[in-house]
Amino acid sequence: MTMSIRVAHLYGDLMNTYGDIGNILALQFYAKQIGVEVTSDIVSLEEDFKADDYDFVVFGGGQDFEQTVVADDIQSKKAELIKFIEANKPFVAVCGGYQMLGKYYVDAKGQKLPGIEAMNHYTEQQHDHRFIGDVVIENEKNGNKYHGFENHQGITFLGEDEHPLGKVLQGYGNNGQDGTEGAVHKNTVGTYFHGPIMTRNGNFAKYMLFQALQNKYPDTDFTEMKKQVKTYEY
């Protein structure tokens, strides 16, 4: 049996700051090592998203104008995106995409825009300041260190039913105050890590790949396949 994963690249034509499409390329790279096919579709403005059609979602960051346009359109996809997340399917959202999964975010002009409330974090705005630079965190569940690059004016605070992706060792993270970076709910990960996160952190990419495979092929034992996947990271 040839296994496959179908990825929805959410607003990939508008939300791709710092090459966040690299997350899909990383999935394809690691999947190829075990003979798994990864295909992707851009799901953009005025296009339907159906949770049952996809095994993985990638949602990148964007500039202020594009993010405002997407924030309006994504409300039409809200129900199906929440269905996807609550089905425990893997979802990686970066920067602006991360903010839009929460309750709300305040944009650069001070306008409060609604998220889709799939997660319970919210994002306020700094005044005349941005968090920019390399960032390193440690995941307290598995002990792995993840490396990335952050560039965001928003400051995000976590809510109930979500925990951080990691503890900040270098950089600012979610808000520069509580030492957290990212948010995790079920198999959905929100993060400020460009880089992109899955090209720089092979163990994270491998973990998310096998979460997708386990969801789609629940009767398959992937123990030996995991040993075959060589990870690269720095």
Q: Of 9, 95, 121, 185, which residue is the catalytic one?
A: 95
Give the Cα separation of 83 and 76 in Å (integer). 13
Tell me, yes or no, if 194 is annotated catalytic.
yes
> Any known ligand binding at 200?
no
In one-letter notation, the amino acid at residue 22 is G
88 phi-psi bin (left φ>0, alpha ψ -120 to 50, beta other):
left
| Burial of 25 (C-beta count, 10 Å sphere; 0-12/13-18/19+) | middle
Could you tell me which of 119, 200, 121, 120 has the C-alpha nearest to residue 154? 121
Residue list, annotated binding site for substrate: 130
Residue list, annotated binding site: 130
Catalytic residues: 95, 194
